[in-house]
């Protein structure tokens, strides 16, 4: 699976507003947590088996679950599943009764904690 939003985040959050004199006021702070990590498969790679998908779905259902995530390049994060749409998945084909080994194309939405 590919981390598709790796560069859509900044460790610094800024807000800009105008003071009563018209001067620009910039507030900046470092973000410590909350970085989105969206892992996405495509039609020809990064598939996930149905049994694994069901196990991941069970992790989503843990209210305050925090999990270690290690990427292929060795980077490690502690993550939770995102509040909105933590998993999206579609089967590669449409069998009437998919086996535990049936492949799916999935997207997992996580945030760092």
Q: Across the strands, what pairs with 68?
A: 78
* Mean pLDDT within 91-99: 86
d(CA 57, CA 11): 29
Interval 54-79: pLDDT, tens: 999 999 999 999 999 999 999 999 99
Please report, for the chain, the start and end positions of each structural domain, with discontinuous segments joined by +: 2-112
d(CA 18, CA 43): 48
pLDDT band (50, 70, 90) for residue 13: confident
Task: Say what the pTM is.
Answer: 0.82
Residues of the chain with pLDDT > 70, as a percent, come to: 100
φ, ψ for residue 33, nearest 5 deg: -135, 175
Q: Across the strands, what pairs with 91?
A: 104
């Amino acid at each position: 699976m590919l981390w598709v939003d790796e560069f859509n985040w900044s460790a610094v959050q800024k807000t800009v507003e105008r003071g009563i004199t018209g001067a620009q006021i910039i507030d900046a702070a470092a973000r410590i947590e909350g970085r989105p990590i969206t892992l996405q498969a495509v039609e020809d790679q990064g598939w996930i088996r149905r049994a694994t998908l069901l196990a991941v779905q069970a992790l989503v259902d843990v209210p305050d679950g925090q999990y270690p995530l290690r990427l292929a390049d060795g980077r490690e994060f502690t993550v939770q599943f995102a509040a909105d749409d933590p998993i999206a998945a579609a089967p590669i084909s449409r069998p009437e009764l998919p086996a535990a080994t049936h492949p799916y194309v999935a997207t997992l939405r996580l945030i760092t904690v």
